[in-house]
Amino acid sequence: MGVKKIKIAIISDLHCHHSQSKDNRGGVMDDSYLKTDMLRTPANDHPVESLIQLIESNELEVCLTLCPGDFTNKSDKQGFISGWDFSLEINNALNSNEIIATIGNHDVDVYGVNSSYSIELAKGIKKGFPIKDSDYRDVFWSRGCVFVEKEDYRVLVINSSHFHYNRESAIGGRVDDDLIDYVDQYMDKVKEEKISIVMSHHHPIDHSRLSLGEYDKISNADRLLEILGKHRFDLFVHGHKHDPLLRYHSCYETTYKLPVLSSGSFSSTSNLSWTGKRNNFHIIDVIKEDGSGALGKVKTWTFMPRSGWSIMRDEGGFDAYTGFGFKGEIVNLVSEIENYLEKEKMMKWEDLIKVVPGVQFLVPSEARELEKLLNDKGIILSSNISLSPEYLFNTKSN
């Protein structure tokens, strides 16, 4: 059986702008840590420079970089140009083979700041935006989505801002029936099984926690999700909410559980006032055997001004280490771990994942459940699973 692997970087919601750019009310914007005219010293104050240093010092590499939109803030022209340039720079530092983007609501000029044509900025960025291949790019602009096919993976890139013609139409994302029918018909014809990923800017499922509202979800998303479930897509990645969250959507007709990742914002400062969340950069390892669903591990770095990017030991933030794709029962994991710790006082986490690999592929809510059930059995972790504990201790062993 064939095994396919891919490593993906996620850069979302930069909200880049010039330090003196004005918003639509005439005030000076201050919506991003990433300004187009800021110096790169000190490095830890600059989100891109700090990340480049992290990439180089840790020799980080990926196969693919995904950018779910909002490169700029309130259609700031220089912010859009620089935001894409920054993304290309990060992509190059990661030795990535491909960078694929979509556009967000802030990338569409619905206020007519620069032009009466709402996507003039987005179409004029060039430099391979949003997809390097011109044929794929033409389909994306005309149809509102495109399938990018590579040897081991395919990415369905959705422009959820395709219908943002003015301020009123830009309230939320939207996909129409023609797009959904196209996706269904396309997938009916493909033969080769690959890692299949969907990317949009807006969220396809409710994401109203932290008072984030319910009005901006992709319209017609329920039907889209059913088609994605029918064709067993492996992961849906989106931006927009600035609230990192990884969970499953259960498709009604097929009962398929589709992993949905809401990416953290790369450099927007509005996170703190809206959600209390910091800025994030994600790398995802995905592996898939023919005939089975994909397994994924997600590693997340957090940006702090004057400190740069690091793995945060912050239980209030997004999990530094998490995953998706586990198909079994949590109680069975508990039994397996109990068996290995029956005669031992402690065990290294790195040794446990060799014999119980399923613990690496739990979404955060599943990891919390496992921790609780282990605690009830007297098995204590040296830290939460989200922080990759070093040891497990059996407090009830003889």
Res 209: pLDDT: 82
Using the structure block, give the residue that is written with the tokens 């109990």: 338
Q: pLDDT for 291-327, tens place per residue?
A: 888 999 999 999 999 999 999 877 668 999 999 999 9
| Residue 41 pLDDT class (50, 70, 90 cuts) | very high
* Residue 283 falls in which region: left (phi positive, over 0), alpha (psi -120 to 50) or beta: beta
What does the alpha-carbon distance between residue 361 and residue 368 come to, in Å, rounded to a whole number?
A: 13
Higher pLDDT, 375 or 211: 375
What's the structural domain count of the chain?
2
What does the alpha-carbon distance between residue 128 and residue 137 come to, in Å, rounded to a whole number?
A: 8
| Residue 276 pLDDT class (50, 70, 90 cuts) | confident
Which of 97-111, 155-169, 362-376 has maximum average pLDDT? Answer: 362-376
What does the alpha-carbon distance between residue 345 and residue 285 come to, in Å, rounded to a whole number?
A: 32
Are 267 and 390 contained in the same domain?
no
Residue 64 has pLDDT above 80, yes or no: yes
Q: Which of 292, 324, 356 is the last residue of a domain?
A: 324
Mean pLDDT of 137-166: 94
Residue 129 has pLDDT above 70, yes or no: yes
Q: Which of 304, 324, 344 is the last residue of a domain?
A: 324
What the block records as the tokens of 304 is 């702090």
Res 255: pLDDT: 85
Are 358 and 311 contained in the same domain?
no
List CB contacts of 321: < 8 A, sequence separation 6 or more.
297, 298, 299, 300, 385, 386, 387, 388
Q: Which of 280, 298, 324 is the last residue of a domain?
A: 324
271 lies in which domain range? 3-324
What does the alpha-carbon distance between residue 28 and residue 31 come to, in Å, rounded to a whole number?
A: 9
Res 111: pLDDT: 67
C-beta of residue 200 within 8 angstroms of C-beta of residue 100: no
C-beta of residue 306 within 8 angstroms of C-beta of residue 74: no
User: Nearest-5° angle of CA 340, CA 348, CA 288?
Assistant: 80
Are 336 and 208 contained in the same domain?
no
Q: Supply the pTM of this predicted model.
A: 0.95
Q: pLDDT for 221-272, tens place per residue?
A: 999 999 999 999 999 999 999 999 999 999 988 889 999 999 999 999 988 7
